[in-house]
Amino acid sequence: MEPPARATPSADRKLVVAFGDSLYAGYNLDQGQGLAPVLERALADRGLKAQVVNAGVSGDTTTAGRARLAFTLDGLPRKPDLMLVGLGGNDMLRGLSPQETRDNLDAILREAKARGIPVMLTGMLASPNMGADYAAAFNPIFPDLAHKYDAALYPFMLDGVLGERALLLPDGIHPNARGVTVIARRLAPIVAQNLKG
């Protein structure tokens, strides 16, 4: 496993780490089309100089993310000004226990807090085919943990994209380049607000 890119941000640039799964990693997209570079450009358009490090791994569950968190953070040039956390979608798609998802995300946020790293959660919602009981256990995880750790929350990562065929890859789940641009534009104001403190 390679640590994230070690380019050292200049003193006036904020450092953001995007720690998540395929939705962060830029699944099946060309270099420069994934969330990290597109969000970096969206922040620049708002006059905010930031380096967004892509720490997304396609297929990652919250268990896998929890296992690589310390390695990822220790591999950064300095403590990030903000960590975006986007995990849980693969747990849901595999029907893993929502309690396991909650416990893993709690551990990730606890570690970030211990290191003094502010967090922004990008939430996920259970697919309707998972059933009402699963959704009732899964969907509250993100708002609950955001409240517990005083973390910023973007309630649903695929808001405005899921169900829009023109914004998705043929699998109907992952955003294409246009979809990533929509997500980044929606995230940018919240990220910017959190970076400005």
Tokens of 114: 């211990």
| CA 164 – CA 20 distance, rounded (Å) | 22
The three-state secondary structure class of 119 is: strand
Rounded to a whole number of angstroms, the CA Rg of the chain reads 16
Q: 119-122 and 82-86: which strand pairing?
A: parallel
Are the C-beta atoms of 152 and 188 separated by less than 8 Å? no
127 in active site? no
Match 């211990």 to its residue by tokens.
Answer: 114
The three-state secondary structure class of 176 is: coil
Out of 10, 12, 22, 159, the active site residue is 22
Residue 131: partners with Cβ closer than 8 Å, 6 or more residues away: none
147 in active site? no
> What are the DSSP calls for 23-81, one per residue?
HHHTTT--TT-SHHHHHHHHHHHTT--EEEEEEE-TT--HHHHHHHHHHHHHTSSS--S
171 in active site? yes
Match 């959190």 to its residue by tokens.
Answer: 194
Would you please indicate which residues are annotated as catalytic (active-site) residues? Answer: 22, 171, 174
